[in-house]
A and B are shown apart, each in its own frame.
Chain A
Amino acid sequence: MTAETTLLLVLLGLLAGGFGALAGVGGGIIITPLLAIYFGLPMHQAIGVSLVCVIATSTATSSLYVERHITDIRLGMTLELATTFGAMIAALVAQHINRRTLALLFACFLLYSCLSMARKAWSKRTQEKEEEVLPDYQPQNYPLGMGAALIAGGFSGLLGIGGGPVKVPVMYLFMKVPLRVATATSNFMIGVTAATSAYVYWGRGDVAIAVAAPLVAGVFAGSLAGARFSARVKPLYILLLLVAVTGWLAAEMILKLLSRGFR
């Protein structure tokens, strides 16, 4: 690997980690397609490397939330029973899916995320203020929560993402957990979930260290900086930026699929 490529990867990691921490998504949604489209990595390797970056984001930022007592450790640990199981199964299944099918699945996921973030941005024009003091709560509806966690884990193992967008709404809406706690707890679970699938990808030789290391270095620095500044940046702008980036990446992936790429 040339020095220029390594530097470029560090920079990409910085951006993905920074925006990830600001927007509350774990960079995986950006890193997998970038590696597959522009760096010519096979889908399985792009996912394996992305999982390592997701672990980096989760580990770096979740320590901050745990320290501030926002994370619900017991709830997280319980749901992890399901996320890790889903992640393991999906990672094993992914080894038998061909590259083009994986790319197609990922393109669909990008398109869906782009649209749902656009909708969120539209409803967020009127800024809602988050509660400062955490209210008392008792997590409810564990069966539904475990089901959602299983699916989130599956997405993580199959696509190399964190799966936060699946878990957070279910915890918030159906388990009656405050939004801040749900976000922090989801972030906390992502490290263990991504590690579970990463072990499977590692065993298959799909974690390219030469690509993962510079990205991770950038992601660490970026996500820590992002977490520190998150209070000062308007979430709406970050959201709009992510809508644009995911929309662009989805279009690029579909174009490459149509021109018989990703083989």
Chain B
Amino acid sequence: MNRDVAADHLLALTLKAGAYTAFALIVAGLMCSAISAPAAEIVTKIGVLVLLATPALRIVVAAIQFLRERDTKFVLISLGVLCVVALAFFLGVEV
């Protein structure tokens, strides 16, 4: 079984970066609120937003990786997934 090592590495890195950034921000925000620092709420909110944005970012990174490999079929599939996610985002705001 052959896996695309470079793609795996890049995607794992994206997921990790998103997860740890969100975790760090949320923990920092919670600590700020424990000592009732003023920035607490906004830091926590940004942390949650980073977490929510990570899956979408992961699709973009995969699409770029497929593009570099000239795998047109999977570039299109990734963009299709991205379209559905974006549609959900806009419909959620509209409804």
CB within 8 Å of B: which residues of A?
A: 3, 6, 10, 52, 55-56, 58-60, 62-64, 66-67, 69, 71-74, 77-78, 80-81, 84-85, 87-88, 91-92, 95, 134-137, 191-192, 194-204, 207, 209, 212-214, 216-217, 220-221
**Which residues of chain A are near B11, meaning CB under 8 Å?**
63, 66, 73
Q: Is the CB of B51 within 8 A of A55?
A: yes
A209–B58 Cα distance when bound, in Å, is 23
- Contacts A/B (CB < 8 Å), 6 sampled: A6-B30, A59-B51, A73-B8, A81-B81, A88-B87, A203-B91
**Which residues of chain A are near B58, meaning CB under 8 Å?**
191-192
With contact pairs A95-B95, A195-B52 given, residues A56 and B19 touching in the complex (Cβ less than 8 Å) = yes
Q: Is the CB of A73 within 8 A of B52?
A: no
Does B70 reach chain A (CB closer than 8 Å)? no
Interface of A is mostly: helix
Q: Is the CB of A202 within 8 A of B52?
A: yes
Q: Is the CB of B88 within 8 A of A84?
A: yes
Q: Is the CB of A216 within 8 A of B22?
A: yes
A135–B1 Cα distance when bound, in Å, is 7
Cβ contact of B29, chosen from A63, A72, A73, A213, cutoff 8 A = A213
Interface of B is mostly: helix
- A85: nearest chain-B partner, CB-CB: B84
**Which residues of chain A are near B33, meaning CB under 8 Å?**
6
**Which residues of chain A are near B23, meaning CB under 8 Å?**
60, 216-217, 220-221
Encoded as 1 (CB less than 8 Å from any A CB) or 0, chain B from 27 to 70 comes to 10110011000000100110110011011101100100000000
For window 66-95 of B, CB contacts with A under 8 Å fall at 74, 77-78, 80-81, 84-85, 87-89, 91-95
Q: Is the CB of B59 within 8 A of A192?
A: yes
> Nearest Cβ in chain A — how far from B31, in angstroms?
10
Cβ contact of A59, chosen from B5, B54, B92, cutoff 8 A = B54
Cβ contact of A134, chosen from B1, B8, B54, B84, cutoff 8 A = B1
**Which residues of chain B are near A216, meaning CB under 8 Å?**
22-23, 26, 47-48, 51
Q: Is the CB of B15 within 8 A of A63?
A: yes
**Which residues of chain A are near B62, meaning CB under 8 Å?**
73, 77
> Nearest Cβ in chain A — how far from B62, in angstroms?
6
**Which residues of chain B are near A63, meaning CB under 8 Å?**
11-12, 15-16, 19
With contact pairs A55-B54, A135-B1, A137-B1 given, residues A81 and B77 touching in the complex (Cβ less than 8 Å) = yes
Q: Is the CB of A88 within 8 A of B91?
A: yes
A212–B52 Cα distance when bound, in Å, is 12
**Which residues of chain B are near A195, meaning CB under 8 Å?**
52, 54-56, 85
Q: Is the CB of B48 within 8 A of A220?
A: no
**Which residues of chain A are near B4, meaning CB under 8 Å?**
73
A205–B81 Cα distance when bound, in Å, is 24
Q: Is the CB of B93 within 8 A of A203?
A: yes
A3–B35 Cα distance when bound, in Å, is 10
